Amino acid sequence: MKIPKLIRPFVDEFSKLPGVGPRQALRLAFYLTEKGSSAVAPLADAVAQLANLKTCPYCFSVHDQDGDLCEICNDHTRDLLTVAVVEKETDLISMENTGKYRGVYLLIGDIKKAGNLNERQKMKLDSLKSRLASTDEGKAHEIIIAFSPTTAGDISAEIIAENLRGSAKKISRLGRGIPIGGEVEFADPDTLGEAIEGRK
């Protein structure tokens, strides 16, 4: 079957999205076509609204607040000298959902497995260092590198820590170990080892 010409631009654009390949994009196109304009119009409007989002100049997360700063960076009850460096927006949301973190963030973006920082990521780190240097204390109380505990995450965390050395009194990683509800018997050696070394 020949794909209609009007569907091709949709497939080309949507297949560029993470987790959406050409086949999935084609399925979505046929699904929306079947649903008709009542489904297409709201989707088109929702996508268009994304153009109204802004990027916070402090943490680099997207937001829809009136000013330049996002809600978190503009919240004077937060500890502005405790900074969690996260890779993705979803990591930031997960940390916020715990209700246990009251610092601010730096959204560094996905770091490739090789652990190399791109120019934009270097710019974000330089921006954070400059901002911290301009404070009364001249450095952060703590920078938490909140990366996933994988080999790639560990390599990336070391690179970030090296870049930020001297910009904080303390640079830390998220704690690791056996998850709540987990059983020692079934923990793998790496997890159990981390739990022993990171015990309180």
Q: Where are the domains of the chain?
A: 8-52, 68-173
Domain 68-173 in this protein, CATH class = alpha beta
CATH match of 8-52 with 1.10.8: yes
Q: Which residue has the tokens 């989707």?
A: 43
Q: Which of 24-38, 59-73, 110-124 is predicted with the least confidence, judged by mean pLDDT? A: 110-124
Q: Which two tokens stand for residue 103?
A: 């610092």
55 falls in which pLDDT band (50, 70, 90)?
Answer: very high
Q: Which of 64-73, 93-102, 190-199 is predicted with the least confidence, judged by mean pLDDT? A: 190-199
Look at residue 186 and tell me whether its pLDDT is greater than 80: no
Look at residue 200 and tell me whether its pLDDT is greater than 60: no
The dihedral of CA 102, 107, 112, 118: what is its sign?
A: negative
User: Dihedral, CA atoms, 94, 96, 98, 103, nearest 10 degrees?
Assistant: 130
What's the confidence (pLDDT) of residue 85? 96
CA distance 172 to 157: 10
**Mean pLDDT across 73-99:** 93
More confident residue, 125 or 148: 125
CA distance 195 to 197: 6
Look at residue 196 and tell me whether its pLDDT is greater than 70: no
How do beta strands 54-55 and 142-145 pair?
A: unpaired
C-beta neighbour count of 76 within 10 angstroms:
5
Q: In percent, how much of the chain has pLDDT > 90?
A: 62
Beta strands in the chain (DSSP E): 54-55, 62-63, 79-86, 103-107, 142-145, 171-173
155 falls in which pLDDT band (50, 70, 90)?
Answer: confident
Look at residue 30 and tell me whether its pLDDT is greater than 60: yes
